[in-house]
């Protein structure tokens, strides 16, 4: 059974870099043709995709970021740990949100079929 | 960017009611649309993908229809477990979510 689990600090100071990890169990990030990445939800608000990477070993450099965040987003993978990571630089209070890691499958860019439980990150000094 | 607009934003209904939520895309997305259900404090859960395909394990009272720019999610007979917020999600070009529809108890 596929499971995704986010981990990382719950609080980040303004102007610093937010760093989160997502550990995947039940499937290999490099197996199949799936996107793996990050979605966030500010308190009481809707969902926003942050960035995704294509997991197939044949397309290992393919990453995609939301244009509204692109200059601040970096996504990387650690195959040995079956884990992928998010770095979001120069954070402000507007980046306070629940951050989810997720998998997208299927045609087009794919629908999100598996989600982590989410982790709240607060940007505050 | 493709924009997704849901209506209504809030819907008040009773157990047993037939409920319909609409999602409109700013440009044609074919059938590349999913519907997710989210309960407070929980991650979203996919109900429908490819506009009308029911995800495994999802009750058959949920159904989806539409193509191009207009889509609907229908709950044929609302159950107590269905009071939640519902989001549409396009995946024709990257990803975009609708703003959500909260289904509350009337």
Q: What's residue A61's pLDDT?
A: 62
Q: What's residue B61's pLDDT?
A: 98
pLDDT at A63 over 90: no
Taking one residue from A and the other from B, the number of pairs with CB-CB distance under 8 angstroms is 63
A30-48 average pLDDT score: 93
Which residues, 6 or more positions from A61, have their beta carbon under 8 angstroms from its beta carbon? none
* Token reading at B49: 């993908």
Over chain A, what is the mean pLDDT?
93
With tokens 């860019």, the residue in question is: A109
Q: Chain A interface, mutation test: which of B43, B57, B86, most A Cβ atoms within 10 Å?
A: B43
Q: What's residue A62's pLDDT?
A: 81
* pLDDT tens for each residue of A83-106: 999 999 999 999 999 999 999 998
* Token reading at A53: 């990477």
Strands (E), chain A: 3-7, 11-12, 18-25, 35-41, 48-54, 63-65, 73-78, 83-88, 97-105, 111-115, 119-123
Q: What's residue A33's pLDDT?
A: 85
Give the A-side interface with B, CB within 8 Å.
46-49, 52, 64, 66-67, 100, 104, 106-113, 115-118
**Distance from the B50 Cα atom to the nearest Cα atom in chain A, whole angstroms:** 8
Q: Which residues in chain A have Cβ-Cβ distances shorter than 8 Å to B30?
A: 108
Contact B93 A47 (CB under 8 A): no
Which residue ranges of chain B lie beneath pLDDT 70?
Answer: none
Contact B32 A107 (CB under 8 A): yes
Q: What's residue A6's pLDDT?
A: 98
Q: What's residue A59's pLDDT?
A: 64
Contact A109 B93 (CB under 8 A): yes
Q: What's residue A56's pLDDT?
A: 72
Q: B22 and B6 in contact (C-beta within 8 Å)?
A: yes
**Distance from the A83 Cα atom to the nearest Cα atom in chain B, whole angstroms:** 19
């Amino acid at each position: 059974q596929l499971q995704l689990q986010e981990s990382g600090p719950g609080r980040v100071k303004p102007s610093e870099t937010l760093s989160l990890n997502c550990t995947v169990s039940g499937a290999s990030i490099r197996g199949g043709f799936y996107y793996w990445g990050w979605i966030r939800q500010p308190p009481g608000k809707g969902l926003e995709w942050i960035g995704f990477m294509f997991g197939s070993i044949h397309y290992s450099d393919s990453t995609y970021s939301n244009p509204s965040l692109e200059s601040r987003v970096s996504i990387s993978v650690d195959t040995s740990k079956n884990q992928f990571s998010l770095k979001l630089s120069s954070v402000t209070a507007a980046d306070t949100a629940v951050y989810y890691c997720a998998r997208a499958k299927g045609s087009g860019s794919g629908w999100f079929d598996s989600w982590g439980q989410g982790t709240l990150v607060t940007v505050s000094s | 960017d493709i924009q997704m607009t849901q209506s209504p934003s809030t819907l008040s209904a009773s157990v047993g009611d037939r409920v319909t939520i609409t999602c409109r895309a700013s440009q044609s997305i074919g059938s590349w649309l999913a519907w997710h259900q989210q309960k407070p404090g929980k991650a979203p859960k996919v109900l429908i993908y490819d506009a009308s395909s029911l995800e495994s394990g999802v009750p058959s009272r949920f159904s989806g229809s539409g193509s191009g720019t207009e889509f609907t999610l229908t709950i044929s007979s609302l159950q107590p477990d269905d009071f939640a917020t519902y989001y549409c999600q396009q995946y024709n070009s990257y990803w975009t979510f609708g703003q959500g529809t909260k289904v509350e108890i009337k």
